[in-house]
Amino acid sequence: MRATLSLLSKASRAPLNSKQANKEFYKGTGSFPGLGPKRQGRHSPGSKAPYILMQERMRTFVVPDNLNSCGLKPYVAKTVKVDPRASNWPMADSKPTLDSKRGGLFGPNGFDGHYYLQLAETLRAEDGAKKA
């Protein structure tokens, strides 16, 4: 007895997707990584509302009481000024202002050759200042 060619191929090791599984297979969008896809309601055939959300099945997230008084914030505003002395990497010369680190320290073309040369010169100057 011989194994078929499909069993020996690497195609069987590929991750399962919705085209290869039965009609109820739903992988989800990955937007809830730890929670997984869960039904939050029920289908109602013959009704004007095709899907009815049920409150007891809805996901709830516990928010701490002192969240507003906490100093930590989830996002950094674009108006935050960057202190160039915060790290030993220089801000790119091609950046017009020190608006934020949102665009990164690098120039508009990313970590390109111009920024690499600027970084090398800055680090050389710092090493020379430390040795002297």
| Tens-digit pLDDT profile for residues 13-30 | 677 776 777 777 766 665
Per-residue exposure over 96-105, b if at least 16 CB sit within 10 Å of its own CB, e if not? eeeeeeeeeb
Tokens for 39, please give them: 């039904």
CA–CA distances in Å: residue 119 to residues 87, 108, 122, 124, 128: 12, 15, 5, 8, 14
pLDDT of residue 84: 59
Question: Does the pLDDT value for residue 32 go beyond 60?
Answer: no
Q: Are 35 and 59 in contact (CB under 8 A)?
A: yes
Asked if the model's pLDDT at residue 46 lies above 70, the reply is yes
What pLDDT does 103 receive? 56
Q: Average pLDDT in the 121-126 region?
A: 86
Per residue in 83-100, pLDDT tens? 655 666 777 777 666 554
How high is the pLDDT of residue 100?
46
The first and second tokens of residue 68, run together, are: 């507003």
DSSP state of 80: P
Lowest mean pLDDT among 3-7, 42-46, 60-64, 67-71: 3-7
Residue 57 near residue 35, CB atoms below 8 Å: no
Q: How would you class 92 by CB atoms within 10 Å of its CB: exposed for 0-12, middle for 13-18, buried for 19 or more?
A: buried
